Structure 1
Amino acid sequence: MWKTSPTAHRLAQQAPERGLAVHMGRVNSRRRLRIAQAFGCTTCDGTCLAFGPDTNLPRLLAWMNELHTTPALFGDQT
């Protein structure tokens, strides 16, 4: 998928040097959230909260907590 390709990663890394923010859409999984973090995205979104918020909000909060407390096993996982 282009969105998570090495080329997209390189572009995302160059954006802050040019004063640009990086956004990733369709972030509906822990894996994609980790990729967004590794890419240096400043924002991301997804639809997982729109569908089953009672189930997905606790899941999303757990993923966010993991990002802040658990380093990626192999560093950049892209």
Structure 2
Amino acid sequence: MLFLAGSTEWKTSPAAHRLAVEARERGLAVHMGRVNSRRRLRIAQAFGCASCDGTYLAFGPDTNLPRLLAWMNELHTTPTLFGDEA
């Protein structure tokens, strides 16, 4: 498994994307840490991440759960950022 962690700049960089693609080509799953926004969730999808984590839901779950569920629904109806299949 490849775990994409570190600064936002690093995790969302072209270099991190290339590593994720390489990991997937080698049959490895990719996980992204600290995914706490719609934008970051879409980036994780575009990178082909099999999983991600974050604390977004822990802060205001009554408000944030409906938002998070809407983001997840969007992932299935919207093309990825890089045009590749997630």
Higher relative contact order (CA 8 A, sep 6+): 1
Is this a same-fold pair by TM over 0.5? yes
Q: Which runs of 5+ in 2 are unaligned?
A: 1-8
Identity of aligned residues (%): 84
The Cα shift of 1:19 comes to 2.0
| TM-score normalised by structure 2 residue count | 0.81
For the pair 1:34 / 2:47, whether they are aligned, the reply is: no
- For residues 24 and 9 of structure 1, what CA distance do their matches in structure 2 show? 11
5+ residue gaps, structure 1: none
Letter in structure 1 aligned against 2:32: M
Q: CA deviation at 1:70?
A: 1.9
- 1:16 matched to which residue of 2? 24
Figure out how many residues of one structure are paired with residues of the other and give that number.
75
Query: Hey, which bits of structure 1, 4+ residues long, moved more than 3 A?
Result: none
Q: Structure 1 or 2: larger strand share?
A: 2
Deviations 1:5-56 (A, max 9, x none): 1000000001122221100011110000000000000000110111110011
TM-score (norm 1): 0.89
Q: What value does the CA root-mean-square deviation take over the aligned residues?
A: 1.3
Whole-angstrom CA distance in 1 between matches of 2:28 and 2:79? 25
Equivalent-residue separation in structure 1 for 2:46 and 2:68 (angstroms):
17
In structure 2, C-alpha distance between the alignment counterparts of 1:38 and 1:66, rounded to whole Å:
13
